[in-house]
C-alpha cells in the first residue's frame, strides 16, 4: 500500500472524473482508482503528471505530516545519522523505497556518523532518522546559500520538487545539489534546475530523465 493521498479530493474539487484524469496522464480510470485508494504505488513521474493535470503542487497530493509536540531536546534520546558519499557511485543506489527506507547503501559509502536529538528530527525537521543522510556540498553552484564543505541533511523520503526547494539529484550528467521547481502545466512534466550562484545558468530536464535523491532539510557549516 502507498501512503495516503488527496487525489480523489482534489480531482472531485475540479469536477473531473477518473476517466478524464486518466486520459490526461495517459492511463485509464482503473489505474486512477487504484492510485486514489493506495493500492498502486504513486511514483514520482506519475505524481508530477497528476499534479500538473489538477493544477496543484505535488505536496498537495499527499497527506500532511502530523505535528509533534515540542520536547526538551537536551533530555531527548539521540539518534545516529550516517554521512555518505553520494558522488562516487553516481546514479545507483541513492533513492528511497516505497516505505522511505534508503536503498543500496553499502558500508563503504558511510564516511562519518552524526548524532541528533530524536525529537529535533521528528518535531522540527519532520523527518525520520531512517530516511535521512548527511552529504557534503561540493562545488560553488549553490553559493552563497551553500558553500563547498558544508554538510546538508537530505530527506530520501521527499523526492517531489513541489513545493520548490533544494535537492540532491542525478541530473543526467552527474550528482548535484540544486534548487528544483516543477514547471506547472508542462506535459510531460518538466523540472527547472537552478543554481543560487548567478554564474551558473538554469536548465530544464524532463522529470522522467532525472533521479531525485531527496530534499535538503538542514545545513551545518564550520565558522
Judgement on whether residues 104 and 148 belong to the same structural domain of the protein: yes
Helix extents (H) in 26-160 = 29-37, 44-54, 58-61, 118-119
Per-residue pLDDT at 73 exceeds 70: no
Q: In Å, how far from its chain's centre is CA 56?
A: 17
Domain span holding position 205: 73-220
In a domain, 129, yes or no: yes
DSSP 130: G
Look at residue 2 and tell me if it is in a domain: no
Whether 44 and 84 share a structural domain? no
Same domain, 52 and 77: no
CATH value at residue 48? 1.10.260.40
| 125 Cβ contact partners less than 8 Å away, ≥ 6 residues apart | 132, 153, 155, 217, 218
Residues 125 and 15 in one domain: no
Q: What is the pLDDT of residues 115-145, one digit of tens each?
A: 999 888 888 888 888 889 999 999 999 999 9
Domain boundary among 38, 61, 84: 61
120 lies in some domain: yes
If you average pLDDT over every residue of the chain, what do you get? 81
Angle at 129 between CA 124 and CA 135, to 5 degrees: 90
d(C-alpha 87, C-alpha 97), whole Å: 20
What is the arrangement of strands in the sheet containing 190-194, beginning at the earlier edge strand? 110-117, 78-84, 132-136, 151-155, 211-220, 165-170, 175-183, 190-194, 203-206
Rounded-to-integer distance, Cα 199 and Cα 94, Å: 28
Same domain? 46 vs 149: no
Taking 90 as the threshold, does the pLDDT of residue 198 lie above it?
Answer: yes
Model confidence, pTM: 0.64
Amino acid at each position: 500500500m502507498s501512503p495516503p493521498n488527496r487525489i480523489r479530493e482534489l480531482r472531485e474539487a475540479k469536477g473531473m472524473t477518473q476517466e478524464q484524469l486518466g486520459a490526461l496522464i495517459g492511463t485509464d480510470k482503473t489505474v486512477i482508482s487504484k492510485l486514489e485508494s493506495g493500492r498502486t504505488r504513486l511514483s514520482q513521474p506519475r505524481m508530477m503528471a497528476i499534479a500538473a493535470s489538477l493544477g496543484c503542487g505535488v505536496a498537495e497530493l499527499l497527506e500532511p505530516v502530523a505535528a509533534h509536540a515540542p520536547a526538551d531536546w537536551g533530555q531527548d534520546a539521540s539518534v545516529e545519522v550516517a554521512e555518505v558519499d553520494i558522488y562516487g557511485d553516481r546514479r545507483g543506489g541513492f533513492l528511497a523505497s516505497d516505505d522511505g527506507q534508503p536503498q543500496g547503501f553499502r558500508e563503504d559509502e558511510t564516511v562519518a556518523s552524526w548524532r541528533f536529538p530524536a525529537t529535533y528530527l521528528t518535531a522540527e525537521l519532520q523527518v525520520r532518522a531512517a530516511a535521512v543522510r548527511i552529504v557534503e556540498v561540493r562545488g560553488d553552484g549553490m553559493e552563497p546559500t551553500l558553500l563547498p564543505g558544508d554538510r546538508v541533511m537530505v530527506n530520501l523520503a521527499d523526492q517531489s520538487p513541489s513545493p520548490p526547494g533544494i535537492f540532491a539529484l542525478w541530473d543526467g550528467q552527474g550528482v548535484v545539489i540544486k534548487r528544483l521547481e516543477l514547471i506547472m502545466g508542462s506535459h510531460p512534466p518538466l523540472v527547472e534546475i537552478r543554481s543560487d550562484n548567478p554564474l551558473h545558468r538554469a536548465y530544464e530536464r524532463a522529470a522522467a530523465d532525472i533521479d531525485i535523491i531527496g530534499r535538503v532539510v538542514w545545513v551545518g557549516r564550520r565558522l
